[in-house]
């Protein structure tokens, strides 16, 4: 028997592969070579192949699962964590998020991105789509992608594009300081960033026309063209709240997703955050196009936006991935998002069969991989070695009689032991192997304090808001 030497073997865990052909391997081993999964199977199967490793990681009472794919977040918002509680969307934007976004500088944004990416990775997230919209000069965007790569995470910086102020932006009370570039400049800067971080980079750059409601229609189309030309996806907020759909309809005479369809903007490149308020025709058009919706259950609850129509969208053929959205409301822990999404769907349908542990795991992994157009989100030979080892021995996890339910309902990000991304061990025993965690925390604390003062939002920092009703 000839011996094969690989980089890493993880052994001793049950493996939840997310591969429909072979979903669970009891007592499994996973072998990593050159960033990819070289072999996966039971210990006996791997032993029979004569595979040995440079590094062997023995675990017990653990599950190996694909790393989670956070399909929509805004890492820079980390500096505003815990602020804005109890405000409705418009005052939340006006008194908190827009002043923060209009004031943040590159140094502060990068401190936030490092903190957020680190938190995500420590919680078992191996890919992040960071919709970064402040600041958006080419240097900051490329540095943002580099900062994510330093932490070791895969993903995309979806560069926030605003262009010229249009009627929808005025009606949405958007801060005009964000609309600082012309449409031509937006496309040029984004193209420059994509050239630096093209399709296939560990962290790519995508165009992100921020919101269908307040983007110039020609600029929306130019973003899709740019994405197509460079073989990347594009990303936008769409139909998050009822009032933005009403504003859009009153300006354009049709609903947002119908408008996207009529302008040939729905395809498998289209990745839309939220996607809550679609009518039946829109659901069917999104499904036919194979577009991706990113469900952000915690943000949707916090801002009282509504609940995605999960069943109809999936039945129509749409791809529904999962995200954390802005950390100012949600943090980066995808385990929280999984649990929350299951409960929320049960409440929407008043039907406990409307979602399941397996379904939310699919959204967090397999469907995220489909969105990223990469061989990620499932563990099988030849696919990327992006996986996590989750400790299942905690008191809060006992007894894990059905391990997949334990993963989605009892497990926390802090239970993640080891994380492998692109074949590299980026988290070992709950600590980053790539960056100085203490420095990242100290830098983010300083940046947050500076930004709160400069943005003029110190009034939100109070010890206690007496509840109105008590």
Binding stretches for Zn ion (CB under 5 A)? 325
- Quick one: 305 or 319, whose CB is closer to Zn ion? 305
- CA torsion through residues 237, 238, 243, 248, sign: positive
Cβ atoms of 317 and 288 closer than 8 Å: yes
DSSP structural state of residue 460? G
Q: How far is the CB of 160 from Zn ion (least distance, A)?
A: 10
By C-alpha distance, which of 274, 202, 272 is closest to 233? 272
Instruction: Name the minimum Å distance from CB 323 to Zn ion.
Output: 8
Which two tokens mark 57? Answer: 């990681």
Is the CB of 39 or the CB of 148 nearer to Zn ion?
148
Nearer to Zn ion, 130 or 325 (CB): 325
The tokens for 29 are 């081993």
Strand partners, 389: 64, 418
Rounded Cα–Cα distance for residues 80 and 97 (Å) = 8
* Contact (CB, 8 A) for 194 and 236: no
DSSP 8-state class, residue 388: E
The residue count of the chain comes to 470
Rg (CA), the chain: 22
CB of 326 to Zn ion, least distance (A): 6
Q: Which residue is nearest to Zn ion (CB)?
A: 325
Nearest to Zn ion of 296, 367 (CB atom): 296
DSSP code at position 434? S
Of 97 and 404, nearer to Zn ion (C-beta) is 97
Residue with smaller CB distance to Zn ion, 299 or 355? 299
In whole angstroms, how close is the CB of 99 to Zn ion at the nearest point? 17
Instruction: Give the shortest CB-240-to-Zn ion separation in angstroms.
Output: 8
Q: Which is nearer to Zn ion, 31 or 148 (CB)?
A: 148
Nearer to Zn ion, 183 or 273 (CB): 273
Pairing of strands 424-428, 416-421: antiparallel
Q: Please spell the DSSP secondary structure of 209-258, one letter per residue.
A: E-BGGGS-HHHHHHHHHHHHHTT--EEEEES-SHHHHHHHHHHHSS-HHH
CB of 340 vs Zn ion, minimal distance in Å? 16
SS3 string, 243-254, reads HHHHHHHHHHCC
């Amino acid at each position: 028997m000839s011996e094969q030497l690989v980089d890493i073997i993880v052994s001793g865990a049950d493996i939840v592969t997310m591969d429909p052909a072979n979903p669970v391997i009891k007592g499994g081993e996973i072998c990593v070579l050159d960033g990819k999964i070289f072999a996966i199977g039971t210990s006996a199967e791997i032993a029979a192949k004569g595979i040995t490793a440079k590094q062997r990681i023995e675990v017990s009472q653990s599950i190996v699962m694909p790393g989670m794919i956070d399909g929509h977040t805004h890492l820079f918002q980390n500096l505003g964590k815990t602020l804005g509680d109890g405000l409705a969307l418009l005052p939340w934007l006006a008194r908190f998020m827009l002043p923060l976004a209009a004031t943040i500088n590159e140094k502060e944004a990068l401190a936030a991105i490092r903190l957020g990416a680190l938190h995500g990775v420590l919680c078992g997230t191996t890919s992040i789509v960071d919709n970064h919209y402040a600041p958006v000069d080419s240097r900051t965007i490329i540095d943002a992608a580099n900062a994510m790569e330093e932490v070791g995470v895969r993903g995309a910086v979806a560069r926030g594009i605003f262009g010229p102020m249009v009627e929808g932006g005025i009606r949405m009370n958007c801060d005009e300081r964000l609309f600082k570039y012309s449409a031509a400049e937006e496309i040029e800067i984004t193209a420059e960033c994509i050239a630096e971080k093209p399709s296939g980079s560990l962290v790519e750059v995508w165009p992100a026309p921020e919101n269908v409601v307040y983007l110039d229609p020609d600029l929306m189309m130019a973003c899709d063209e740019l994405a197509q030309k460079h073989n990347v996806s594009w990303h936008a907020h769409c139909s998050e709240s009822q009032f933005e759909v009403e504003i859009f309809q009153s300006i354009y005479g049709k609903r947002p997703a119908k408008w996207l369809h009529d302008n040939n903007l729905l395809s498998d490149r289209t990745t839309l955050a939220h996607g809550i308020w679609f009518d039946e025709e829109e659901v069917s058009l999104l499904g036919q196009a194979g577009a991706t919706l990113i469900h952000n259950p915690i943000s949707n609850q916090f801002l009282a936006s509504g609940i995605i129509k999960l069943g109809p969208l999936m039945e129509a053929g749409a791809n529904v991935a999962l995200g954390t959205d802005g950390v100012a409301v949600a943090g980066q822990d995808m385990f929280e998002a999984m649990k929350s999404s299951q409960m929320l769907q049960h409440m929407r349908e008043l039907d406990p069969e409307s979602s399941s542990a397996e379904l939310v795991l699919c959204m967090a992994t397999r469907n995220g991989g489909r969105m990223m157009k990469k061989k990620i989100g499932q563990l099988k030979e030849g696919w990327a070695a992006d996986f996590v080892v989750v400790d299942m021995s905690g008191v809060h996890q006992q007894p894990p009689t059905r391990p997949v339910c334990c993963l989605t309902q009892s497990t926390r990000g802090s239970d993640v032991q080891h994380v492998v991304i692109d074949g590299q061990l980026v988290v070992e025993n709950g600590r980053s192997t790539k960056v100085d965690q203490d420095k990242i925390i100290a830098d983010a604390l300083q940046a947050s304090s500076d930004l709160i003062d400069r943005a003029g939002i110190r009034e939100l920092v109070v010890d206690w808001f007496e509840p109105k009703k008590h």
